[in-house]
Each structure stands twice: as structure tokens, then as C-alpha cells.
Amino acid sequence: MSLQRTLKYIQQGGFSKYWRDMQYIGDAKWGRMVGIDSNGNTYWENNEEQPGRTRWVDYKFHDYDSTQLDPIWHAWLSHTRCEPPSTDPIASHFERPWQSPAYENFTGTRGAYRPYNTTKPKRYAWEPKIAARQA
């Protein structure tokens, strides 16, 4: 990152935003805020960036996970959709009654799914049998 680019982004967003972006995403980016999803994540776009780095998400919480993204916003981030869902009239009014709300991934936490086994084991651990002493 060049010094000129760094100074430009500090001037546009302020030093606190520059410092936060460097800590969270490792790059100082500034652009047009496109929208906010139901989880509070903000989505940004800057067409002056390098191709493939023009769209990004700023997660609401520091402990972020990719499962916190809505599927329609993920499609916009990966350049599958041209229009962001906030400006697309079809996507903003389209309801999915069959789709449950997006939940984050609970792997590695107490809320993770743990299957249990109901079959008897084929092998058992050895249990010693204690015989009475003979006098």
C-alpha cells in the first residue's frame, strides 16, 4: 500500500476508521456504503480498487464468521449479482417462506450438534472377576 493511498484513505475516513480497518481486515479501504443486512453488517463498494477487491463487508462484531452473511449479500460479494440487494427491487421485496433465518455456525461451541450412538458396542473392556480365597 502506497503512502499516497494511505493518506487519501485517512483523509476520507479519519484516523480511527483507518486504524480499525487495519486491525480487522488488514487493509485501509474507503468506498460507498451499499447497504446493511439483518445482522448489522455493512457492505461497501469502490470501483477504483483492483479487480476482485472492489466489494467487501465490514462485520458488526469482532468475532466474525462467514455464516453471519445473508445468502443474497454473499452472492453480491462474490460478483454473482450485479445489483446490491438494497437497490434491487426484486430482491428487496422477495420473501422466502421456505427458508429459515440464517444462523451462524456453532461448531466448536456448546451449541454444536453432537450425535450419540444407540447400538451396543461389539467389544467391551476387560472387567476382572474377583474370586473368593480358598483356605
The structural domains of the chain, with segments of one domain joined by +, span 1-29, 31-107
Give the model confidence (pLDDT) of 56-95 as tens digits: 888 887 777 777 788 888 888 998 888 888 887 777 666 6
Instruction: Of 43, 49, 50, 52, give the one whose Cα is nearest residue 83.
Output: 43
| Mean pLDDT in residue range 101-116 | 79
Instruction: Of 31, 81, 38, 91, give the one whose Cα is nearest residue 56.
Output: 31
Percent of the chain whose pLDDT exceeds 70: 90
- Split at pLDDT 50, 70, 90, the class of 101 is low
Does the pLDDT value for residue 44 go beyond 70? yes
- Mean pLDDT of the residues in the chain: 80
pTM tops 0.75: no
Q: What is the pLDDT of residue 34?
A: 92
- What is the amino acid identity at position 134? Q
